[in-house]
Chains A and B, each alone.
Chain A
Amino acid sequence: MPSFVIQEKCDGCKEQDRVSCVYICPNNLMALDKDSKKAVNQEVDQCWECYSCVKICPQHAVEVRAYADIVPMDGSVVPLRGSDSIVWTIKFRNGNVKKFKFPIRTTVEGSINPYAGKPEADISKLDSPGFFNMDSAYMPRISD
């Protein structure tokens, strides 16, 4: 179910500081075509269909078409990812449509303050079990 880029919608992220799908693809598949300045999935049979490129595209120009060697045509699964939830629209081959909305995070993206309110590490405990925010005195040992 490789991702593909809709020619009309892709603007090559020319207003952005990076090309979103090229930035995010975990398998390095999305590339910017030098001539057209539009994104392209350069190796479709190595696509894991993780939808990272679909979810991140600011133009909604990336979609996924089910694997041609496996799945009958005309179905689609399209996400719309917001800041705290994602809406999925699933269109079946027979035309039926289902919509689902799920939460994705409870904090604002970028707001994590990883050590706020956390204890300092006690360097004398470096070689003991337990993390910096745990009391190593209470680390269980095997008891049976």
Chain B
Amino acid sequence: MGSFGKPDIVEIETDILIIGGGMAACGCAYELMRWKPEDVTVRLVDKAAMERSGAVAQGLSAINTYLGENKPEDYVRMVSNDLMGVVRDDLIFDVGRHVDNSVQLFEEWGLPIWKQPGDEEKPLSEGGKPVNSGKWQIMINGESYKCIVAEAAKKALGMNNIQERIFIVKLLLDANDDTRIAGAVGFSTREDKIFVYKTNAILCVAGGAVNVFRPRSVGEGMGRTWYPVWNSGSTYAMVAQVGGELTMMENRFVPARFKDGYGPVGAWFLLFKARATNNKGEMYLERNRDMLKDYPPYGLAKVPATCLRNHLILKELREGRGPIFMRTDKALQALAASYEEEFGPDEAKKKIKHLEAEAWEDFLDMSIGQAGVWAGENIEPEKVPSELMPTEPYFLGSHSGCCGIWTTGPSDIAPPEWQWGDKPPKAGEDPEPGQKNYNRMTTVQGLFTAGDGVGASGHKFSSGSHAEGRIAAKSMLSWVLDHRDFTPTLSANTTELAEEIYAPVRIYEAHKDYSTNIDVNPYYITPRNLQARLQKIMDEYVAGVGTMYTTNVTLMEIAVRKIGELKKDSKKMMARDLHELMRAWENYHRIYAGEAHLRHMLFRKETRYPGFYYNMDYNYVDEVNWKCFVNSKIDPVTGEWSVFKRAHKDLVSKS
């Protein structure tokens, strides 16, 4: 038995390793187990418990990607416009043509999906019509969404192939080929054990990145982030560190949400037809509509890009016409009046009560804290409006954002430059033609990703992430079957790996008795303080809330230096227990996610996402020079970054 500081080392060989337990991982498990021959082995490793892990842990009130009768081409056009044109049509189309199948499975497994009157008993798969809150969004009773999806995945995989509470912190390249994945290493957050995996293929799906920037609440409310607080950028950091190419890491998401609780606004806008106004009661969207003309074609679409809608909000806030109010009161009153007219007072009363429940459920299914804010502030939405506020920035590839990892696309759609297998492209170069392509593979052989991991392909949301995990499952299996003769060889021995993982523990043990205050010691830094330092740099220099999302080249160059020093000091992080060791490694990952974001922003000499951030030295969208992907790569040996352009290509017409 290991003890703290003296962990047991467990070596595990598996053909396929799934890192993460969220929607993409569950999708992968489900699809994979139906295809794979008996002798191909699989292991899923989750930092938490699958029943409530990942971004859907709390539940959701809607599934935001269900195509129904819409065409995948229209889905591509919507996503492209929302993300200011620089996205991968092949990846988005691929999600679009697969995603409904996953949603239909969710319903079959027990997820309650709202239906149109008359279709209540008719499943989606038999043509039942859902209640759409928008063109792509359907309403659900989603408190147990993740429990249901995880149950199916766990049943498919078998519990023998699942390990929970193990945090994978590092991927490992093959000793004989530095573009080939060979393993991963992590530790149990509950027992004194280190796990070393040797594997043929990996799906790295550990979510997006939260708390890289200083959050608006810095006291007890620091955990009430919009995206899940446990998403620590591990997907991006671990893939980047083994030389996987990143893409569009300059993209960020700054959702405008109900202030402080970060409750969802989608249903209020789309379902209840609520409007948002400034402090004078003016509709900011109308008042500032002309500003959208500065950003053709993205501002001129029927639904302007999300960042541009933020851009109009920020003008109000900067010029002192805040706060922005969601007029929940007016919306519910108007609906009540129309019901009375249409159905008479008695029936209207019932309908209004139902409507009120729907409004609360929107929070209670996915953002319970917002209900707590309203309860504490005596906010009854039918009587008073509520404030909206843009949040701190987040990195993600599945919601209304598109940062992530550069991957192959589907063989039947992707152009040759987005297809590869045994010979991944070098930085800035095209891959050699004629290789067999493996969909959703990174530029590291055998390393795949999905969900928040795949870049330049946003608006997958929960359902699209599940579907993308399924897509990746098939090509991973194909990879493994084509490379059965591969024997992974690790370049470091297991003791060295264990020491590297436990370095924060060693630092603590060596110096803990030097000072009388465990948190203040010149020989180490606590993970908590390191995180605060990262957040301060990102907030003040890299366009966080403190500068109203504004920066410039000088500020960012200072940030590069400061992050460099922070990285050196990160080697002095301490951990006094396993929980803190988890925090130390999470923050190590956060630094890399933040640094990627910074370097990409600095490279892109324009402001592609006004409303999400402004580079004031280049405060415009430059379609001629910058309608391209910005990609980056770390040299796994030297740690040096290179940042470069890759050409954008429209596969679906955008007019």
Q: What is the interface of chain A, defined by CB distance below 8 A to chain B? A: 1-2, 23-28, 31, 42-52, 64, 66-77, 79, 81, 86, 88, 90-94, 96, 98, 100, 102-107, 109-115, 118, 120-121, 123, 126-134, 139-144
- Cα–Cα distance between A128 and B35 once the two chains are bound (Å): 13
Contact check, A69 vs B375: say whether CB atoms are below 8 A apart. no
Provide a sorted-by-A list of 13 A–B residue pairs whose CB atoms are within 8 angstroms.
A27-B48, A48-B230, A70-B219, A70-B220, A71-B372, A96-B380, A105-B144, A110-B151, A112-B155, A114-B156, A139-B97, A142-B93, A142-B652
Contact B376 A71 (CB under 8 A): yes
**Interface residue? B484 (CB, 8 A):** no
User: CB-CB < 8 A to A98: which residues of B?
Assistant: 360
Report yes or no: B97 in contact with A140, Cβ–Cβ below 8 A: yes
B35 contacts which chain A residues (CB < 8 A)?
Answer: 121, 123, 126, 132
A71 touching B141 in the complex, CB below 8 Å, given contacts A46-B222, A77-B372: no
Q: Which residue of A lies closest to B143 (CB)?
A: A104
Q: Given that A31-B579, A77-B368 are contacting pairs, would A25 and B48 also be in contact in the complex, using a CB cutoff of 8 Å?
A: yes
Which residue of A46, A67, A88, A107 contacts B360 across the interface (Cβ within 8 Å)? A88
Once the chains bind, are A132 and B143 in contact (CB under 8 Å)?
A: no
- The smallest beta-carbon distance between A47 and chain B, in angstroms, is 4
Residue of A28, A66, A118, A129 near B189 (CB, 8 A) is A28
Query: A52 to B220, Cβ gap below 8 A?
Result: no
With A94-B378, A102-B361, A112-B109 given, is the CB distance from A49 to B224 under 8 Å?
yes
User: Total interface residues on B, using CB and 8 Å?
Assistant: 83
List 6 A-B pairs, minimum CB-CB distance, nearest first.
A69-B219, A107-B110, A75-B375, A67-B221, A71-B376, A75-B376
- Whether B58 lies near A127 (C-beta < 8 A) is no
- Within the assembled complex, what's the spacing in Å between the Cα atoms of A60 and B412? 53
User: Is B357 interfacial (CB 8 A cutoff)?
Assistant: yes
Minimal beta-carbon separation of B408 from chain A (angstroms): 12
Give the CA-CA distance A131 to B470 in the complex, in Å: 7
Contacts of A109 in B (CB 8 A): 147, 151
Question: In the complex, what residues of A have CB within 8 A of residue B97's CB?
Answer: 129, 139-140
Q: How far is it, in angstroms, between the C-alpha of A118 and the C-alpha of B58 when the chains are bound?
A: 29
| Chain A: CB-nearest residue to B364 | A88
- A33–B629 Cα distance when bound, in Å, is 50
Q: Does B270 contact A (CB under 8 A)?
A: no
Q: Label chain B's interface by main secondary structure.
A: helix
A113 touches B155 (CB 8 A): yes
Q: A44-B220, A71-B376 are in contact. Are A131 and B31 (CB under 8 A)?
A: yes
In the bound complex, CA of A107 to CA of B411 (Å): 38
Could you tell me the distance between the alpha carbons of A100 and B368 in the complex, rounded to whole angstroms?
13
Residue of B nearest to A107 (CB): B110
Q: Please, which residues of chain A bring their CB within 8 A of the CB of B357?
A: 100, 102
Taking the closest CB of chain A, its distance from the CB of B149, in whole angstroms, is 10
Tell me the minimal C-beta distance from B203 to chain A in angstroms. 16
Q: Chain A nearest CB: distance from B490 CB in Å?
A: 28
- Closest chain A CB from B195 CB (angstroms): 16
Q: Which of A24, A121, A130 contacts B98 (CB 8 A)?
A: A130
Cβ of B340 within 8 Å of any chain A Cβ, yes or no, is no
Instruction: Please tell me which one of the listed residues A64, A111, A114 contacts residue B30 in the complex, with CB atoms under 8 A apart.
Output: A114
Given contacts A28-B582, A43-B579, A50-B52, contact A104 B224 (CB under 8 A): no
Interface residue? B8 (CB, 8 A) = no
Give the shortest distance, in Å, between B302 (CB) and chain A (any CB).
Answer: 18
Contact of B369 (CB < 8 Å), options: A1, A72, A104, A115: A1
Q: Which residues of B lie under 8 Å from residue A79 when comparing CB positions?
A: 364, 368
Interface presence of B176 (CB below 8 A): no
Contacts of A90 in B (CB 8 A): 360, 371, 374-375
**Closest residue of chain A to B107, judged by CB?**
A106
Q: Which one, A72, A121, A133, contacts B101 given CB within 8 A?
A: A133
User: In the complex the two chains form, what is the Cα distance from A105 to B554 in whole Å?
Assistant: 53
A contact residues around B372 at 8 Å (CB):
1, 49, 64, 66, 71, 75-77
The smallest beta-carbon distance between B391 and chain A, in angstroms, is 14
Cβ of B410 within 8 Å of any chain A Cβ, yes or no, is: yes
Contact B222 A45 (CB under 8 A): yes
**Cβ–Cβ contact A66 & B98, under 8 A:** no
Chain A residues near B412: list those with CB within 8 A. 128-129, 139, 141
* Binary per-residue interface labels of chain B (452-482) against chain A in the complex, 1 for a CB within 8 Å, 0 otherwise: 0000000000000000001100110110010
Chain A residues with CB below 8 A from B217, complex form? 67, 69-70
How far apart are B435's CB and chain A's nearest CB, in angstroms? 13
Residue of B with least CB distance to A120? B34
- Residues of A near B365 (CB, < 8 A) are 102
